[in-house]
């Protein structure tokens, strides 16, 4: 059975920081030195030392699930596809968010409805609570905050647009090079979620 975590509710999408982290790595700066820059110099301009530590630790985890092929491609992609690489790294370290993308977002693309309502998000979490003992122990507040975090991440990745009563589901224009890279890395689940197939 998959292990799930609700720690994502304390994280942000951190796209700018993710981009800066990759730029520093491409300059040959080590993960340890980036961590020191973040904590001691507040390089990423976080509001507290604790937040700087959490942010740099989380981004390091995201970066660690990618490889040089992603790093090489990243600077040549447009902003939308760079955001997708950040999102893909989040999906790779968060099984529940990956499940949400595959089961909920992908379904919206397949059905062509293009409207994600709160009750659809709630239905996903209700189903998870029934199916998974670990998630069944989470409080309603945790579920509510996690649902909000999922939607926020997808809005920041330009895959959802808040319309008040619902979110408009936007199909990404995946760069062919990124699509080929995802196929070559066996990221078929994430590719299916993004392309709605």
Q: Provide the pLDDT for residue 146.
A: 94
Q: What tokens appear for 92 in the block?
A: 């790779």
Residue 127 CB contacts under 8 Å (≥ 6 apart), including other chains: none
Q: Provide the pLDDT for residue 113.
A: 82
How much is the pTM? 0.93
Q: Provide the pLDDT for residue 1.
A: 43
Query: Do residues 77 and 93 lie in contact, with contact meaning Cβ atoms separated by under 8 Å?
Result: no
With 0-12 / 13-18 / 19 or more C-beta atoms within 10 angstroms meaning exposed / middle / buried, residue 40 is exposed
**Over the chain (197 residues), what is each successive 10-residue block's mean pLDDT?**
77 95 95 94 92 94 95 97 97 95 94 90 93 90 94 97 95 96 94 92
With 0-12 / 13-18 / 19 or more C-beta atoms within 10 angstroms meaning exposed / middle / buried, residue 136 is exposed
How far is residue 139 from each of residues 7, 102, 144, 145, measured CA to CA in Å?
Answer: 13, 24, 9, 10
Q: Is the sign of the CA dihedral 131, 156, 167, 171 positive or negative? A: negative
């Amino acid at each position: 059975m998959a292990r799930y975590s609700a720690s994502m509710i304390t994280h942000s999408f951190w796209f700018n920081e993710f981009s800066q982290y990759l730029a520093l790595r491409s300059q040959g700066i080590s993960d340890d030195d980036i961590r020191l820059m973040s904590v001691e110099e507040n390089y990423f301009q976080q509001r507290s030392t604790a937040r700087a530590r959490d942010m740099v630790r989380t981004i390091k985890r995201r970066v660690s699930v990618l490889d040089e092929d992603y790093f090489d491609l990243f600077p040549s992609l447009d902003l939308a596809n760079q955001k997708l690489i950040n999102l893909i790294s989040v999906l790779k370290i968060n099984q529940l968010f990956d499940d949400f993308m595959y089961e909920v977002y992908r379904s919206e693309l397949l059905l062509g409805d293009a409207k994600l309502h709160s009750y659809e998000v709630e239905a996903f979490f209700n189903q998870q609570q029934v199916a998974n003992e670990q998630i069944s122990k989470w409080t309603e507040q945790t579920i509510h905050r996690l649902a909000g975090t999922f939607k926020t991440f997808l809005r920041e990745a330009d895959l959802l647009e808040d319309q008040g009563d619902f979110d408009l589901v936007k199909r990404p224009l995946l760069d062919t090079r990124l699509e080929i890279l995802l196929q070559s890395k066996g990221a078929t689940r994430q590719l299916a979620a993004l392309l709605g197939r």
